[in-house]
Structure 1
Amino acid sequence: MMNIHHALQQQNYESYVVWGRGRKTENEYEYSMEDILGICIHGVMTRLFDQTGFWSMHATRKLIAFIEKIKPDIIHLHNLHGYYINIDLLYEYLKKTKVKVVWTLHDCWAITGHCAHFQIPRCNKWQDGCGKCVKKMSYPASFFVDGSKKNWERKKRIFASVESSIVVPSRWLGDIIKKSYLRNNSITIINNGVDLDLFRPRKTSFKIKYGIENKNIVLGVASEWTEQKGINDFLKLRNYLDDSILLVMVGVTKKQRKKLPVGIIGIERTNNAKELAAIYSSADVFLNTTYEDTYPTVNMEALACGCPVITYDTGGALESACLGDYEYKPHGKAFRKLGTNSVCIEELADNVKMMINKKKNIKACRSVAKKNHDVHTQNLKYIELYKRILVP
């Protein structure tokens, strides 16, 4: 979101960016609609009554007042979940103003009655109407009420009331949207990108720091290590590799780190891109064990740093790793799952060992990243989309 905003400003467009929580504004072109009390109430009502997206009235009115002040030609929406906005109020306003709307979807929440991902249970209720949700306890978790049936009906009515230019980061998600109640909107694929100046092969002392100069590193990175991200597979993999191979997990909590077995180094989450790029650069293989994903950024970051990727064939994961089949490529290999929530760990270990034995091809990985994942190229695609919308 910020990348697009800065790209617009660099081309002398008047651009404003708004967020619901998490950071402070730095100038007049940034606006925070954060309402701490409203977020707390929204979260509680989600946990009790499964009402994500239907609270935060005060914060949404603040947003509408800001929009009225700046009077944009285009409103570009991103995630509308996260306990910060009321979709009913927002869309009532959008319907009245008739402003052009672009909406980038980063997951599947917009088309379901509850969940953001439905790959593990292979649930297709979202196509015709949710109810009796099997993922009620998953984000955004509801501990008591299952509101998925009513939520699906409300969201269908709300989101269908405003014509939008839908943007998805992957073909996989585009195909999903074409089967949903959003299918009558235009759908454009614009892949996510990474900053190739930040994520690049770097000289690093990572192995020296941990005293593992003679080890091969298999790296995993997640913002949160959960079953959906394959934490159990990563832990089991340790038993199928010899001592010459070390596993490194970035993004673990303090509690998780204390429980890691010998042969796995745990590193807590870092927001320092240069530090993360140095870790990617130290790795011999990047392993993405995700079971639910749209277009994993970590695959792109690894390739940009010259590290080959082994990724599960989940959602848009193969697309973000630029792997169209299950054959070995110099920049990585796709790994076929046994089902939506299981793999053969022994076969996975064989794939990891094969990739290590072939030695990483930094040039090939970097070349794929430059061709497909340059964030500046993706930003320009958004700007071209804006132009087409304003001058059809």
Structure 2
Amino acid sequence: MLKVVHLNTYDGNGGAGRGCMRLNRALLSQNIDSKIVVHYKFGKNPLIRTFNSNLIQKSYTAATIILERLLAKRYLKPLQRTPFSFAWFGHSVIHHPDVKNADIIHLHWINHGFLDPKHIAEIAKLNKPVVWTFHDSNAFTGGCHVRYTCDHYKRQCGNCPLLIHASDNDISHQIWKQKHKAYEVLDFAIAAPSSWMQASVKMSSLMQGRNVHQIPNTLETDIFKPADKKQAKEKTGLPTDKFIFLSGFMPSRKDLHKGTQYLLESMELLKQRLGAAADNIELVVFGNRGIEGVPDFPFKTSFLGTINNDEQLAQYYAAADAFLIPSLEDNLPYTVMESLACGTPVIAFTTGGIPDMVQHEYNGYLATYRSAESFADGMEWVIKHPDSAQVQQQARQTVIDTFSEEIVAKKHITLYESLLNNKGAGGADV
């Protein structure tokens, strides 16, 4: 039986953690011996292992995570909100029994003091095939996780716009050199969840000559599934006579990555267009930890807070008439996939990997990038669509055809087997 070990910083915390756990479940369903080992374990799932076997080790790990964030303030510009990881701390993984016994080592999100360049290179000592899923851009940049319009990763970074003291040889360039040295030692196949990520990797100076395989993330289609809209609204306590827009956490107007300001502007435009009919619209937001600092929306808005139960979250997706995601850069965001799986169309900007999931005016609406007016057009399109049932069915079918557990698991298995059969550096294309 093929043995795969997945390495991730956290157990289910964030999109990468969820992606890792969902892939693990999908592989298990295909009779693959798949295991997860994490740097810092929050939950109590006994099937997820950790490199910290005692309280002292766990406390040290937590301290390095916190310390990295504190030290980062000395280098990053004030009020800088773009995620950036330094390479100050690391952890050896090659002596863990699950890593030693695996046929395939599959890396996921490995920041926050987990695998620094030195310990990435150390994995080469095991002489095992390695797959690395790039859940964001950090692996091929000098530190940032989100690039926006910066193209320094195409060269060797340096002169980083996020740093207080930027120069040709600033810390972003130094991190680039550390990664370059490590990648010369360790050969690995790259899995890019979206076509946007695949194209970005191919343009990266750190990844020249490597094969990049586009293999999407997956999710539990037996949990995230459609339900009768009226019944779902009644079950979740939402008004059955209102058009419900659902959206994820938006911290403030100043938040850049999630594009909150564009959602606010587009909803204000929509209210003006609808006139009296605007009273039939409500917004529901999940993922907020509190209501302090949240913006004032032009429509009646309910804040659900963090929803940790997937069945409950799926009910809200199924109850909503459309999902709004104004994100300005995302790889293959799970909120989009989850919404579509529940038969709920998505309104989003044309950015990142979102067009891999949302097909314009088929299962949702792709608005012009950074255009609040275009985003408002999308909301108006879904409100006035003459056949909402068809759009809902097409949303669900998109996920079944492309992102179901069986399909995604088999694509990974094909890549694993190609690596084990030595069909060329980085594995055969899948």
- TM, length-normalised to structure 1: 0.85
Render the CA deviation track for 1:99-120: whole Å, top value 9, x for unaligned.
Answer: 211111011111111211112x
The residue matched to 1:243 in structure 2 has which SS? helix
Render the CA deviation track for 1:165-186: whole Å, top value 9, x for unaligned.
Answer: 1100111111111111213222
The change in CA–CA distance for 1:376 and 1:227 in structure 2 (over 3 A counts) is: same
Alignment partner of 1:21 is 2:40: yes
The change in CA–CA distance for 1:172 and 1:293 in structure 2 (over 3 A counts) is: same
Structure 1 distance, partners of 2:197, 2:238, is: 42
The change in CA–CA distance for 1:44 and 1:4 in structure 2 (over 3 A counts) is: same
Name 1:56's counterpart in structure 2. 89
Q: Is the 8 A contact 1:160 1:182 kept in 2?
A: no
The residue matched to 2:343 in structure 1 has which SS? coil
Q: Is the 8 A contact 1:296 1:317 kept in 2?
A: yes
Q: In structure 2, which of residues 257, 264, 269 is the aligned counterpart of residue 235 of structure 1?
A: 264
The change in CA–CA distance for 1:213 and 1:287 in structure 2 (over 3 A counts) is: same
Please identify runs of 4+ aligned residues in structure 1 that moved more than 6 A.
Answer: none
Per mean C-alpha deviation after superposition, the further-off stretch among 13-22 and 256-265 is 256-265
Q: Is the 8 A contact 1:53 1:86 kept in 2?
A: no
Structure 1 distance, partners of 2:50, 2:325, is: 35
Per mean C-alpha deviation after superposition, the further-off stretch among 238-247 and 96-105 is 238-247
The residue matched to 1:41 in structure 2 has which SS? helix
Q: Is the 8 A contact 1:172 1:316 kept in 2?
A: yes
The residue matched to 2:308 in structure 1 has which SS? coil
Name 1:42's counterpart in structure 2. 68
Structure 2 distance, partners of 1:258, 1:97, is: 49
The change in CA–CA distance for 1:252 and 1:27 in structure 2 (over 3 A counts) is: closer
The change in CA–CA distance for 1:200 and 1:9 in structure 2 (over 3 A counts) is: closer
The change in CA–CA distance for 1:85 and 1:382 in structure 2 (over 3 A counts) is: same
Q: Is the 8 A contact 1:173 1:315 kept in 2?
A: yes
The change in CA–CA distance for 1:224 and 1:277 in structure 2 (over 3 A counts) is: farther
Render the CA deviation track for 1:304-334: whole Å, top value 9, x for unaligned.
Answer: 111111211011111122x2xx5x22x1121
Name 2:401's counterpart in structure 1. 371
Alignment partner of 1:196 is 2:221: yes
Name 2:181's counterpart in structure 1. 157
Name 1:349's counterpart in structure 2. 376
* RMSD across aligned positions (CA): 2.7
Per mean C-alpha deviation after superposition, the further-off stretch among 274-283 and 199-208 is 199-208
Q: Is the 8 A contact 1:108 1:117 kept in 2?
A: yes
Alignment partner of 1:3 is 2:22: yes
Q: In structure 1, which of residues 254, 258, 277 is the aligned counterpart of residue 290 of structure 2?
A: 254
Number of residue pairs matched by the alignment: 370
Name 1:87's counterpart in structure 2. 116
Structure 1 distance, partners of 2:199, 2:98, is: 35
Per mean C-alpha deviation after superposition, the further-off stretch among 280-289 and 1-10 is 1-10
Once the two structures are superposed, the pairs formed by residues 1-392 of structure 1 within 5 Å of their partners are 1-24=20-43, 26-27=45-46, 30-33=49-52, 34=58, 35-49=61-75, 52-57=85-90, 60-61=91-92, 63-67=93-97, 70-81=100-111, 83-119=112-148, 122-136=149-163, 147-180=171-204, 181-203=206-228, 204-206=231-233, 210=237, 212-222=239-249, 226-240=255-269, 241=271, 242-256=278-292, 259-261=295-297, 262-321=299-358, 323=359, 326=360, 328-329=361-362, 331-337=363-369, 342-343=370-371, 345-358=372-385, 359-361=387-389, 362-392=392-422
Structure 2 distance, partners of 1:348, 1:167, is: 31
1:382 Cα deviation from its structure 2 partner: 0.9
Structure 1 unmatched runs, 5+: none
Structure 2 distance, partners of 1:260, 1:202, is: 30
Structure 1 distance, partners of 2:207, 2:44, is: 33
Q: Is the 8 A contact 1:257 1:266 kept in 2?
A: no
The change in CA–CA distance for 1:211 and 1:43 in structure 2 (over 3 A counts) is: closer
Q: Is the 8 A contact 1:115 1:136 kept in 2?
A: no
1:49 Cα deviation from its structure 2 partner: 4.8
The residue matched to 2:347 in structure 1 has which SS? strand
1:353 Cα deviation from its structure 2 partner: 1.5
Structure 2 distance, partners of 1:296, 1:13, is: 26
